[in-house]
Amino acid sequence: LWLWGTSRTPLSSASAGGPGGGHFLHKGLPPGPRGLPFLGNLLDLGQDHLPSHLTRLARRYGPVYTLTCGSSTLVVLNSSDVIKEALVRKWSDFAGRPISYTGSLVSGGGRSISLGDYSEEWRVQRRLVHQTLQRYSHSSLQALVRRQALALREVLIGYNGRAVDLAEDFTVAASNVITTLTFEKEYGKESEELQQLHSCLNNIVSLWGSPWISALDSFPLLRKLPNRPFSRLLKEVARRDDIIGRHIKEYKLRDNQSEDSITSSLLKGIEQSIGSEDGVRLTDTHLHMATVDLLIGGTETTAAWLSWTLAFLLHRPQVQTQVYEEMCGVLEGRYPQYSDRPRLPVLGAVISEVLRLRPVAPLAVPHRALRDSSIAGYFIPKDTVIIPNLFGAHHDPSVWSEPNSFRPERFLEGGGGRARDLLAFGGGARLCLGETVARTELFLFTAYLLRDFLFLPGGEGAGLPDLEGEASVVLKVKSYKVIAVPRPLETDLAVGPPNQQSGDTAL
Ligand code: HEM
């Protein structure tokens, strides 16, 4: 069950009909599966792998359908056409976030970028962070990611060919990119400070996806009953605020603050907004919550994507060889730079295909209709919650041939895959704020890893990773082990991974 927030959409009496035998909820709203009295479609929304379940419902009810849950009305979008119509073409109608009781408690009263509703204050906060990220991307981002990629290389060499789960190492690498961006701090894997920060942020994300907490938004009466997961969530939020508050305080006291860090840029923005006449006044809470946004949005996502990439490459080792050979041919022994992308199309195709098959934020973040509007000709009343099912759009058989197979070649010339139908970062006013950072990381981390190591399934008789994964707010691969064999420095193209499996991997 996801956090939908509360929609105030009026529900009129239901009447049977609509494609796939769905029922109509509100004059003009898209039809959808019939729900239970009072509970609505709670059972659908409580499914284990929700993105897959919503995708299956789309086969029956079409690319746009309605679900209800308590007092919430949700419209689920399942194709790239309808998602682009709502998020990009009609962005100003659908740029809101659900008004949510629990969301407000975890986001400093809605002052975070990801959960804050669309407002002038939100726009200024988002613009400041975006501008700083763009400036940083032009100046220091590559060097920062390269440093982390080389640190990761040392960690992998230290494993000495042992079978290991790399998920935590990927988290440390991605997290160091963000902590450097925000308050110029890097950590080792053993750092207690880092462990505390991560356990706290991870707990918040997993509790946030828990049905016991989502239910508080859809069924307000439940707020009066004791709720242990909710009490834990509030405790973790207090711990998070304490840790981040301490970091910001330390940063403010430092003499040598970089002009480019998000914190110094936001501090300047706050100062300026205090004297400005446009009525927008940013506060320390905006700075605090923007830091939380970047840490939560920028760590587990990138780390999960790296784990997915290795998992798929273990299933199709010949693709790993192709990427390696391509780099050997183009780079002549040097490490890649971001500007090498056009000359490394196979690597680019792998990145796109993993983003397609496993968009790590599979249902994006719920949107809210700011006014009455329409999608695909259906009437969408103000305050309806909109769920962009990116996972569903990326598995749409009318757009992607063999949608369940890992086939990077579809993104090579003549392969038929259209990058414009990829929506892993969302779109419009709520487009992922860290897309540039993420794309630099995906490219450089993957290129460095595949240039320096041959990855093999972990240990004698080890099976290949499970590719279904576990879907919560972030879509993660189940834990698996891998062996990283260092490549010879002088590239030997004759040596590639053993051909364990040929042909496409049907997932
Ligand atoms: C593979 C990596 C990533 C993917 C696939 C991804 C995807 C997404 C998606 C789908 C959304 C929701 C868009 C919507 O609401 O329609 C989002 C929002 C966001 N992402 Fe990312 N993301 C990634 C990495 C990052 C990184 C590295 C950062 C930070 C540096 C970041 C920061 C954010 C923030 C702050 C938002 C909220 C934007 C808003 O509400 O205006 N993400 N991301």
Which pLDDT belongs to residue 211? 77
Task: Tell me how far the alpha carbon of residue 296 lies from the centroid of ligand 1, in angstroms.
Answer: 9
User: Ligand 1: which atom is nearest the Cα of residue 423?
Assistant: 10
- Is the distance from the beta carbon of residue 437 to the nearest atom of ligand 1 less than 6 Å? yes
Task: Tell me how far the alpha carbon of residue 19 lies from the centroid of ligand 1, in angstroms.
Answer: 33
Q: What is the pTM of this model?
A: 0.90
CATH class of 15-486: mainly alpha
Task: Tell me how far the alpha carbon of residue 441 lies from the centroid of ligand 1, in angstroms.
Answer: 14
The annotation places the binding site at 432
**Residue 291 parent element (H or E):** helix 284-315
Q: What are phi and psi of 269, to 5 degrees?
A: -60, -40
- Is the distance from the beta carbon of residue 360 to the nearest atom of ligand 1 less than 6 Å? yes
- Is the distance from the beta carbon of residue 117 to the nearest atom of ligand 1 less than 6 Å? no
How far apart are alpha carbons 408 and 351 in whole angstroms?
Answer: 8
Task: Say if strands 15-16 and 23-24 run parallel, antiparallel, or are unpaired.
Answer: antiparallel
User: Ligand 1: which atom is nearest the Cα of residue 365?
Assistant: 15
Ligand 1 pocket mutation pick from 302, 432, 437, 441 by most atoms within 8 angstroms of CB: 432
Task: Tell me how far the alpha carbon of residue 304 lies from the centroid of ligand 1, in angstroms.
Answer: 13
* Closest protein CA for atom 1 of ligand 1: 302
Ligand 1 pocket mutation pick from 2, 170, 181, 301 by most atoms within 8 angstroms of CB: 301
Task: Tell me how far the alpha carbon of residue 330 lies from the centroid of ligand 1, in angstroms.
Answer: 32
- Is the distance from the beta carbon of residue 233 to the nearest atom of ligand 1 less than 6 Å? no
Which pLDDT belongs to residue 198? 86
User: Ligand 1: which atom is nearest the Cα of residue 424?
Assistant: 5
- Is the distance from the beta carbon of residue 428 to the nearest atom of ligand 1 less than 6 Å? no
Cα separation values, 421 from 9, 78, 393, Å: 30, 12, 8
- Is the distance from the beta carbon of residue 457 to the nearest atom of ligand 1 less than 6 Å? no
Task: Say if strands 385-388 and 72-77 run parallel, antiparallel, or are unpaired.
Answer: parallel
Beta bridge partners of residue 66, listed in sequence order? 75
Cα separation values, 170 from 188, 253, 256, 307, Å: 12, 30, 29, 8
pLDDT digit string (tens) for the chain, length 507 residues: 444 444 444 433 333 334 444 444 566 899 999 999 888 898 898 888 999 999 999 999 999 999 998 778 999 999 999 999 999 999 999 999 998 899 999 999 999 999 999 999 999 999 989 988 988 888 789 999 999 999 999 999 999 999 999 999 999 999 999 998 888 888 888 888 888 888 898 888 888 877 788 888 878 888 889 999 999 999 999 999 999 999 888 888 887 777 767 788 788 777 777 667 677 888 889 989 999 999 999 999 999 999 999 999 999 999 999 999 999 999 988 999 999 999 999 999 999 999 999 999 999 999 999 999 999 999 999 999 999 999 999 999 999 999 999 999 999 999 988 999 999 999 999 999 999 999 999 999 999 999 999 999 986 666 899 999 998 889 999 999 999 999 986 444 433 443 333 333 333
Residue 375 Cα to chain centre, angstroms = 24
Task: Tell me how far the alpha carbon of residue 417 lies from the centroid of ligand 1, in angstroms.
Answer: 23
How many other CB atoms sit within 10 Å of the CB of residue 174? Answer: 26
ipTM here? 0.99
Task: Tell me how far the alpha carbon of residue 224 lies from the centroid of ligand 1, in angstroms.
Answer: 34
What's the one-letter identity of residue 333?
G
Which pLDDT belongs to residue 504? 36
- Is the distance from the beta carbon of residue 298 to the nearest atom of ligand 1 less than 6 Å? yes
**Residue 319 parent element (H or E):** helix 317-331
How far apart are alpha carbons 197 and 205 in whole angstroms?
Answer: 12
User: Would you say the C-alpha torsion 85, 88, 90, 95 has a positive or negative sign?
Assistant: positive
Which pLDDT belongs to residue 294? 93
- Is the distance from the beta carbon of residue 51 to the nearest atom of ligand 1 less than 6 Å? no
* Closest protein CA for atom 34 of ligand 1: 433
* Closest protein CA for atom 30 of ligand 1: 434
- Is the distance from the beta carbon of residue 383 to the nearest atom of ligand 1 less than 6 Å? no
**Residue 40 DSSP class:** B
The annotation places the binding site for heme at 432
- Is the distance from the beta carbon of residue 497 to the nearest atom of ligand 1 less than 6 Å? no
- Is the distance from the beta carbon of residue 362 to the nearest atom of ligand 1 less than 6 Å? no
- Is the distance from the beta carbon of residue 177 to the nearest atom of ligand 1 less than 6 Å? no
Which residues, other chains included, contact 228 with Cβ-Cβ below 8 Å and sequence gap of 6+?
A: 212
User: Taking a C-beta distance cutoff of 8 angstroms, is the pair 26, 239 a contact?
Assistant: no
Which pLDDT belongs to residue 397? 95
Task: Tell me how far the alpha carbon of residue 115 lies from the centroid of ligand 1, in angstroms.
Answer: 12
